Each structure stands twice: as C-alpha cells, then as structure tokens.
Amino acid sequence: MPIRSPKTKSRCAVIEALALLASLIVVAALVSALPALGSSQRRRPRQKQAFPTSAQVARARHFARSRQGSVSFTVSDSHGRRYDLDGDRQFVSASVAKAMLMTCFLNTKTLDHQQLTATDRSELRAMITVSDNDAANWVYNQVGDAHLAFLAQRLGMRHFSVAGYWGYAQLTTNDQALLMSKLDRAVYPRYRRYARSLLSSIVSWESWGIPQVARPLGWKVFFKGGWRGTARGQLVHQVARLERRNEVIVICVMTDGDPSQSYGEETIAGIARNLLRSHR
C-alpha cells in the first residue's frame, strides 16, 4: 500500500469534508421540504359537496313518480350538473312563458337604446308579479314569436316552440332550466337588475311551491309559475332560480292532469322539499 505524503493526506481530507458537507446540505433540504409538502396538501381546499345530493334527487324522483298525472322536473345542482325526470317532455306553457316574454322585451329595449317608459314598467310588473294575462298580451304584441324563438336558440333550448300566442307555447323543464341557470346572461346587462327584481317580487298568494319551501331555508328565489285547465284536468308549472351565499341551483317542475290546482302545487312543493331539505 503506497504511503501518502502529508500534503496529499490534507488534500483528501478537505475533499472528504466537502463531500460530507454537500451530502448534509442535500439531506437538510429534503427534510425541510417534507413538512412544507405535507402542509401544502393539508391546506388544499376540498371541493364542497354538490347540492342537492344524488340521494336528494333520487328521493325527488321517487316522490314525483308517486303523484297523479304527468310530472317532469329538472334540477341544476350547485356545481352546474343537471338531473331530470322526463325533462324533454313538452307541456303547454301557461304563464311560465311570461319570464321569456319579459326577457325578450327588456332585450329589445336595450338593443334599441331605449329607456323603459312608465307604461312599460306597469305592464311588465303586472305580467310578472300578479301574472296578468292582459299585460302579457300587450308585451307579446311588442315582442312576437320571432324574439321568443331567437331567445330560445341563443340559450340552447331544444324543444321550445310558439306560433300565434304566448300561452300555447310548448315548453320543457330542461329548456326552462337553461333560462333560469343562464338568467344573468339571458337578460342583457342594462335591465338585468330590474328583471331580477320582478322575478323576486311575485305576490304572496302566487308564491306557493318552490319559494314556499326554499325561502325559510335562506334561499333568495327568482321564479315564475303557471296554471290553467286542460283536457286532462289541471296544469300547474313553476320554474325557479335559487341563490344562497355562493350557491346557485335551479328547479323547474311541470305537471298536467292534476285533479286540482292545489294538488299540482303540492306536487311542486313536495319535489322542492325532497331536493332542498336534508333527511336524517
């Protein structure tokens, strides 16, 4: 074995010390990174569970199937996912179409750069908040089928049709859920706040169904209902947008063949209860 000179031994010792120091630095860096990585994982926010849950939707479907007549509903949950029961079934509109009439009228005023007149406001308020049909006829005469069809196309509705009278328009819950979920885009910005004000100010005696269930739970409700007699019995509809803190959900229910209007109202309320209330 060769004998190293003192100078060589000294140089080797320095190299070994530097190598050891480098190793210690690498180890220290790795160890210090581990807690940071762990805390980063711990701090990552979990996505809030969608509301209503799939179990609540299943209960609503079960309830809807137990009711007399034809029942369809669509719900868009707080994550924007959509669930339905016969959501593409067409129903005669009744007064639900008045929300589309309002949207079209306000948008034409925006495009024409016109202020709302006192008459405009009076007719719109009567049409939405007390569901006045004469006011709806007045608005429809300003709007016509073409503007309604254009709105339906712009929102991606697949089964909307109207020919000659707003009250006989054909609607589905899936299509009306598009209007309610995209309400802030459907109504152009100039009159968006006004539209929301009307849809949240419907008189108390017409605030059955979804708002009756949702408001005590802290939801702000923008909605329109409709009802009329048909050859099958009573038709009762309601479409609604619900907002609470940072959550938005949409519930649209349409029924026909109800034995009475109150029966249809209870069908809608029952679906809303199953969707909005937790079951323990």
CA dist 196 and 243 (Å) reads: 12
- Please indicate, yes or no, if residue 48 is contained in any of the structural domains: no
- Please indicate, yes or no, if residue 109 is contained in any of the structural domains: yes
Q: Give the position of tokens 């859920």.
A: 177
Residues paired with 234 in a beta bridge: 229, 258
- Please indicate, yes or no, if residue 264 is contained in any of the structural domains: yes
- Please indicate, yes or no, if residue 2 is contained in any of the structural domains: yes
- CATH code for the domain of 79: 3.40.710.10
Judgement on whether residues 67 and 129 belong to the same structural domain of the protein:
yes
Domain that holds residue 32: 1-41
For residue 41, give the H/E element and its range. Answer: helix 6-43
Judgement on whether residues 110 and 36 belong to the same structural domain of the protein:
no
Backbone angles phi, psi at 8, to 5 degrees: -65, -45
Judgement on whether residues 151 and 23 belong to the same structural domain of the protein:
no
Which amino acid does the sequence have at 47?
Q
- Please indicate, yes or no, if residue 47 is contained in any of the structural domains: no
CA distances from 26 to 30, 33, 35, 229 (A): 6, 11, 16, 80
Judgement on whether residues 59 and 22 belong to the same structural domain of the protein:
no
Q: Give the position of tokens 């060769």.
A: 2
- Please indicate, yes or no, if residue 198 is contained in any of the structural domains: yes
Judgement on whether residues 107 and 202 belong to the same structural domain of the protein:
yes
> What tokens appear for 177 in the block?
């859920």
Judgement on whether residues 31 and 59 belong to the same structural domain of the protein:
no
Judgement on whether residues 137 and 193 belong to the same structural domain of the protein:
yes
CA dist 132 and 166 (Å) reads: 13
Q: Which residues contact 131 (CB under 8 A, 6 or more apart)?
A: 95, 98, 202, 206, 224, 225, 226
CA dist 181 and 137 (Å) reads: 26
- Please indicate, yes or no, if residue 46 is contained in any of the structural domains: no
- Please indicate, yes or no, if residue 92 is contained in any of the structural domains: yes
pLDDT, averaged in runs of 10, over the chain (280 residues): 51 54 54 48 68 95 98 96 98 97 98 97 98 98 97 98 96 98 97 98 98 97 97 97 96 98 98 83
Judgement on whether residues 73 and 17 belong to the same structural domain of the protein:
no
Judgement on whether residues 35 and 134 belong to the same structural domain of the protein:
no
Backbone angles phi, psi at 170, to 5 degrees: -100, 125
Judgement on whether residues 18 and 98 belong to the same structural domain of the protein:
no
Predicted pLDDT of residue 19: 54
Helix axes 173-181, 133-155, angle to 10 degrees: 90
Residues in the chain: 280
Closest CA to 211 of 221, 203, 201, 197: 221
* DSSP code for 28: H
Judgement on whether residues 264 and 147 belong to the same structural domain of the protein:
yes
Burial 207-230, CB ≥16 within 10 A → b, else e: bbbbbbbbeeeebebbbbbbbbee
Predicted pLDDT of residue 25: 58
CA distances from 262 to 92, 95, 97, 162, 266 (A): 19, 16, 21, 28, 6
Q: Over the Cα atoms of the chain, what is R_g?
A: 30
Peptide bond into 6 cis (omega under 30): no
Instruction: Provide the domain count of the chain.
Output: 2
Judgement on whether residues 28 and 58 belong to the same structural domain of the protein:
no
Predicted pLDDT of residue 36: 47
